[in-house]
Amino acid sequence: MANPSLLILAGDGIGPEVMAEVKKIIHWMGARRGVTFDVTEDLVGGCAYDKHGVPLHDDTMAKAQEVDAVLLGAVGGPKYDTLDFSVKPERGLLRLRKEMDLFSNLRPAQCFDALADFSSLKKDVVAGLDIVIVRELTSGVYFGEPRGIFTEGNERVGINTQRYTESEIARVARSAFELARKRANKVCSMEKANVMESGILWRDVVQEIHDKEYPDVQLSHMYADNGAMQLVRWPKQFDVIVTDNLFGDVLSDCAAMLTGSLGMLPSASLGAPMANGRPKALYEPVHGSAPDIAGQGKANPIACILSFAMALRYSFDMGEDATRVEKAVEQVLADGLRTADLMGPEGGTPISTTQMGDAIVAALDKSL
Ligand code: NAD
């Protein structure tokens, strides 16, 4: 059987620094677990613009369509702030998401015990938290037409349109139910069916898909505003939350902050299954290119490493190894190792990006 294939797009700023630590783990998987990945590397974002005049070359796009999974670092930086909108680094990432049709965005919020004090919420509210928000990513109010700023009478009016087809709702619902089956088998769907017709349709379609295809999964519905309250009141009541693009944008940022630092947060964006049954997939940390700390060895590589763990679980059916990586991260944190972003008010000596990666590899070694 062919080796699993990965396209690595490290990107700009701290992207290459954190990706270097992921490569150590990919190497470890080959050396210690007998799983060799066929890895191709290419450019995205500002570095692609510097070389090709575009933030994503057509050849890179074609490679992304062929591999089992894409792993991305981060794009952007002040050097590119004045570029025309059409060639800004972020356009490279948007092109990947659009052309791979990655409609389901998974944002886990997992609180490692050692970092529970880091949250702005009480320790018992967040300790042991492990939830995933599934956000619809390619439709809804960010894409619906008509949109624009128009003049009506003697004043301007800003218009965006929330629009969802049944099939768009159905496919993201399926993605959430599938995910729930690999976890605690619970989905909560969030919308505003009390005031929005698109919310009524959302609720109906999610319920239909559930009843027909996933009756074994426990399904509940909640208005998104109540969902926001519940997330900060008692987030551990949830397992998988599925919601639209706009609510998902807000709720996933809210959930993310339950767990502390931006340097800890992975994500996955999944599309339709390919011929081999695996979903099209792009994995990336939630954080950006962090130009303020780039090149200084201060970046926390954990978000990128946990993104690779998600790839192991969702693209390569290597759930056991995904857990192994997550446990290794948990172990180094429990041992008190911290990059600068994880230093609490009590201070201490931070370790570097490389030292954090090495410590995680050492913890992986011990796990065997
Ligand atoms: P950012 O996420 O890059 O940084 C925000 C803050 O968090 C900074 O203080 C940074 O030092 C810190 N931080 C982020 N990741 C960290 C890590 N792994 N370890 C330690 N500290 C970390 O967001 P920003 O400053 O708003 O944006 C910087 C650039 O990144 C911009 O060009 C922006 O457009 C781009 N960006 C890209 C992505 C992406 O590639 N997906 C996402 C967000 C922002």
On whether the pTM is more than 0.95, the answer is no
- Is the beta carbon of 263 within 6 A of some atom in ligand 1? yes
Residues noted as catalytic: 142, 192, 225, 249, 253
Are 231 and 255 in contact by the 8 Å Cβ rule? The answer is yes
Report how far ligand 1's centroid is from the alpha carbon of 288 (Å): 3
Distance between CA 167 and CA 150 in Å, rounded? Answer: 31
- Is the beta carbon of 75 within 6 A of some atom in ligand 1? yes
The residue whose CA has the least distance to atom 23 of ligand 1 is 288
Q: Report the top-level CATH class of 1-107+262-368.
A: alpha beta
How confident is the model at residue 130, as a pLDDT? 93
Atom of ligand 1 nearest to the CA of 293: 11
pLDDT of 283 over the 90 cut: yes
For the chain, where do the domains classified as CATH 3.40.718.10 start and end? Answer: 1-107+262-368, 120-259
Q: Compute the average pLDDT of residues 143-171.
A: 96
Collect all residues with Cβ–Cβ distance below 8 Å to 107 and sequence separation of at least 6.
132, 133, 135, 252, 255, 256, 265, 267, 286
Reported as a single tens digit per residue, the pLDDT across 223-260 is 999 999 999 999 999 999 999 999 999 999 888 888 77
How confident is the model at residue 206, as a pLDDT? 98
The residue whose CA has the least distance to atom 44 of ligand 1 is 288
How open is the CA angle 205-307-191, to the nearest 5 degrees? 25
The residue whose CA has the least distance to atom 26 of ligand 1 is 288
**Distance set, CA 153 to CA 66, 150, 156, 157 (Å):** 52, 10, 8, 10
How confident is the model at residue 182, as a pLDDT? 87
The residue whose CA has the least distance to atom 12 of ligand 1 is 290
Report how far ligand 1's centroid is from the alpha carbon of 13 (Å): 9
How open is the CA angle 328-334-337, to the nearest 5 degrees? 85
The CATH T-level fold of domain 120-259 is: Isopropylmalate Dehydrogenase (3.40.718)
How confident is the model at residue 231, as a pLDDT? 95
pLDDT of 117 over the 90 cut: no
Question: Mutation test of ligand 1: which of 12, 267, 287, 355 has the most ligand atoms closer than 8 Å to its C-beta?
Answer: 287
The residue whose CA has the least distance to atom 16 of ligand 1 is 263
Question: Mutation test of ligand 1: which of 75, 102, 262 has the most ligand atoms closer than 8 Å to its C-beta?
Answer: 262
